[in-house]
Copies of this chain bind each other. A is one copy, B any other.
Amino acid sequence: MTRPTEHEVLAAVLQIRCGALQVLAWQRARPPDSGRWALPGGLLGDDEDVERSVRRQLAEKVDVREVTHVEQIAVFSRPDRVPGTRRIATAFLGLVPSDADPAVPADTAWHPLAAPPATALEKAAFDHAAIVDDARDRLRAKLSYTNLGFALAPREFTISALRDLYAAALGHPVSATNLQRVLTRRRVLEPTGAMAPPGPAGGRPAALFRFTERTLRVTDAFAVLRPPGEGARTAVP
């Protein structure tokens, strides 16, 4: 009755590299859209759900242990989104910490998501550019009201390193002073006790911090409309 349909999973794997938000993509060697960049992914297997599938497919590109967060973004289902057999895609956001440098296949590389003239994205295959846009928007939103930063940052880091990560991901400057205060007040960060040596130009040595948790948690319960009797925002003793 309905024509044959395939189901694929696609992942926009993001990482902060060289101070810029970058996405992992491979260059298509064969038509359609040959020469363009495409997101890693592939057909859903018979015995797996989409979450399992995307992790399996990613394992072929990067060491899975490097992927600190995976999250469903949306379904892309326009009938003409790829030529040939109809193919429905479930898109995911994946995150890799900035200190990881996983080995990738020869056709695969990181590409900056330059903000206004998305040069790399102009060459994206099919609707993959839209998927990357959605993934980036999701990351930006969740950085603000969850502890998702843990997925972008190394295990231990200085506040200014973290500030650079946030600034690169959000696309605007971030104040180290306020970032530190806000994240510690929310109990998202904690000091490790250790210090990082100053750089060649001198300066006071920086304290090292870590994320208190490494699983996603909403830290800024949304503003209005909480049950009565909870005082202000986060009921913290």
Contact = CB atoms under 8 A, between A and B. Distances in A.
B45 A225 contact: no
A141 interface: yes
A225 B143 contact: yes
Interface stretch (A22-30, A46-54, A117-125, A205-213): A46-54
Interface string A162-179: 000010001011110011
A32 interface: no
Interface string A1-33: 111111100000000000000000000000000
A44 interface: yes
Interface residues of A, number: 46
Contacts of A172: 226-228
A223 interface: yes
Contact of A86 (B46, B182, B228): B46
A220 interface: yes
A115 interface: no
A120 to B, nearest CB: 23
A75 B73 CA distance: 10
Contacts of A86: 46
A79 B47 contact: yes
B77 A90 contact: yes
Contacts of A4: 4
B46 A75 contact: no
Interface string A153-193: 00000000000001000101111001100100000000000
Contacts of A44: 2, 5, 77, 88
Contacts of A175: 228
A46 B223 contact: no
Contacts of A145: 222-223
Contacts of A46: 2-3, 79, 86
- Going nearest first, the 5 A-B pairs with the smallest beta carbon separation are A144-B222, A172-B227, A49-B77, A145-B222, A50-B77
Interface of A: 1-7, 43-51, 72, 74-75, 77-79, 86, 88, 90, 141, 143-145, 166, 170, 172-175, 178-179, 182, 220, 222-228
